[in-house]
Amino acid sequence: MSNKNSYLEWEAPEFKEYAKSWVWYVALIAIGLLLAAYQTYVGDYFGATTVVILALLVAWFANRKPEVITIVLDNEGITLGSMRIPYKHFKHFWVVNTKEHKTLNLEASTYLKQTVIVELADQDPDEVRKLVAKHVQESEAATPSFSQRIAHRFNF
């Protein structure tokens, strides 16, 4: 693999899908109704409406199935399906390689500090690390964000 034309390509789901039982959905509905009832009780009808809309959005996203996309890493950036992101948009990266998760995590250099999480599927994490490290600084101390920990904890 020459440095000029080095790339990796594989297919993986957009995101990790967690199985959700009917109990998960009942809990979501119960929490949403309790919060909406409280908001109505204190006279915050806008808050109650917002809670209902948020609960519906969470249920919709939770029920969404991931598409299988083609992922390409090359010397210029990363391609996720039809979206191309140059490496210059990332501050640092880290690879998670555990029994539960095998991902490439890229933290954007924007003020929102959004993390792009790429499922590695059967791709070799060491090969991914070597290629990306040529272009983006690797973070040894990176930890999952609060929202990532919540999503994993509640199987979202």
In a domain, 110, yes or no: yes
CATH at residue 75: 2.30.29
Residue 30: both structure tokens together: 């119960």
Residue 7: both structure tokens together: 């790339």
Residue 33: both structure tokens together: 């109704």
Are 93 and 52 in a shared domain?
no
Residue 43: Cβ within 10 Å count:
9
At residue 18, does pLDDT exceed 80?
Answer: no
At residue 6, does pLDDT exceed 60?
Answer: yes
In a domain, 125, yes or no: yes
Average pLDDT over residues 8-34: 87
**Tell me, what's the pLDDT at 147?**
63
Are 110 and 144 in a shared domain?
yes
Q: How many whole angstroms separate alpha carbon 87 and alpha carbon 79?
A: 10
Tens digit of pLDDT for each residue in 31-90? 999 999 999 999 999 999 999 999 999 888 888 888 888 999 998 899 999 889 899 889
Tens digit of pLDDT for each residue in 103-135? 888 888 876 668 888 889 888 888 998 999 999
30's enclosing H/E stretch is helix 22-41
What sign has the CA pseudo-torsion 22, 38, 58, 92? negative
Domain that holds residue 136: 8-15+70-153
Q: How many whole angstroms separate alpha carbon 86 and alpha carbon 95?
A: 18
